[in-house]
Amino acid sequence: MKTLITGGTGLVGRYLKEHLPAEETFILSRQDVDIANFYDVRRLFNRIQPDIVFHLAAFTDVDRCECEPVNAFRTNVTGTFNVAFFSEEFSARIIYLSTDFVFDGKKNSPYNELDITCPLSVYGKTKLEGERIIRDNCGNYSIVRTSRIFGKYGHNFASQLPRKLLQGHKVKITTDLINSPTYARDLAVALVQIATSKFCGLIHFCNDGYCSWYDFGLYICKQLGLDTSLLIPVSINDFADSIAKRPSFSTLDTSLFGRKFYKPRPWHQALEEFLNQEIS
């Protein structure tokens, strides 16, 4: 069974490939193919003829998306349409990774799959449009929403925070953005479970529980034996370079995933494993 991973050299993709047979898995980066080019994607599918497609490729820099909406649309919408179109043409099962940023954060309790979406940012809007494209064009699909991904290979804030603190850097960190941390290793396992099942539709996955970014930092300091004075608690409004609006409370309800598969482990347990095994 041939598997194609778009965005395969990114944070999630590098964990995902560990759970797939190397000889039948094709890892694609933006250097390998321009997913926004219809003909490039057609040539790719003609060559590989995949049975399963993990569509992880996305323009994920939330503030840059706000400044570069055309590029965000090109990757997250046009690119997703091309991958979805040829997945259906080749009867491939497609797994699309989405985000908690499709919500506005006003619910004040965990969001489930039936809740109304209302993205605040260009990033959230383009990812939600990607969901619609998958739903409307693919017969065999799963849309997986997740949030605050961290892991060894990440260049994002959640992944780099432990190293910054270990180096003694003081870090401004928000107290008023609350969501669900997700260890990329756990997410990769969940994606494989979903892909190899008969589940079709929308589902949420993240580690169990939720916290503010400040709480996340405090737990890192506790586990690494660092002085919590390295953390400077602030509001998101204190960041002058924060351009995109972010949902203040976008934690995800994983009850459906728990019923269909298993209950995700708590975020602090996943974070402990990450810090103990992958941070040096």
Q: Domain ranges for the chain, please list them.
A: 3-151+182-208+250-265
Q: Cα–Cα distance between 140 and 124 in angstroms, integer?
A: 24
Asked if 117 contacts 102 with a C-beta cutoff of 8 angstroms, the reply is yes
Please report the pLDDT score of residue 280 as a whole number.
62
Looking at domain 3-151+182-208+250-265, which CATH architecture does it have? 3-Layer(aba) Sandwich (3.40)
Q: Which percentage of the chain shows pLDDT scores above 70? A: 99
pLDDT (tens digit, 9 = 90+) per residue, 226-268? 999 999 999 888 775 778 899 999 999 999 999 999 999 999 9
pLDDT (tens digit, 9 = 90+) per residue, 52-82? 999 999 999 999 999 999 999 999 999 999 9
Please report the pLDDT score of residue 240 as a whole number.
59
**Is pLDDT above 90 for 208?**
yes
Q: Tell me how many degrees the CA angle 10-62-247 measures, rounded to the nearest 5.
A: 120
**Is pLDDT above 80 for 12?**
yes
Q: Which helix (H) or strand (E) holds 85?
A: helix 80-89
